[in-house]
């Protein structure tokens, strides 16, 4: 069984807490300075920081928070190739891919 790496995700905001954060999941751990793509629309994100997610009183919140900023979108041809090579399905819950 593959390991999943869950993160609270804060985009273009401060990483001080999980207010207005969503969640994101990968099959490999994220690293500061890496980049990931949303296979639904080709948007990409730079990972600015990874820190401990502090949400007292909740058991099912990811233990780490990732803070991101916008990166250059993927061209349509490259996006189509990534979707094919990673067997992307439109109904997939976690359509994110760490880029090399």
CB-based contact 4:25 (threshold 8 Å): yes
Residue ranges of the chain with per-residue pLDDT less than 70: 1-2, 13-21, 55-58
pLDDT of residue 77: 96
d(CA 44, CA 56): 31
Question: Model-level pTM?
Answer: 0.84
User: What local confidence, expressed as pLDDT, does residue 56 receive?
Assistant: 66
- Cα 78 to Cα 49: distance, rounded to the nearest angstrom: 27
| pLDDT at res. 16 | 52
């Amino acid at each position: 069984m593959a390991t999943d790496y869950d993160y609270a995700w804060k985009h273009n905001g401060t990483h001080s807490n999980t207010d207005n954060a969503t969640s994101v999941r990968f099959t490999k751990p994220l690293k500061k300075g890496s980049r990931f793509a949303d296979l639904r629309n080709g948007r990409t994100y730079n990972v600015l920081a990874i820190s401990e997610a502090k949400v007292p009183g909740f058991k099912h919140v990811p233990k780490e928070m990732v803070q991101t900023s916008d990166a250059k979108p993927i061209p349509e041809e490259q996006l189509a190739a990534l979707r094919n090579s990673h067997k992307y399905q439109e109904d997939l819950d976690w359509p994110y891919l760490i880029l090399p």
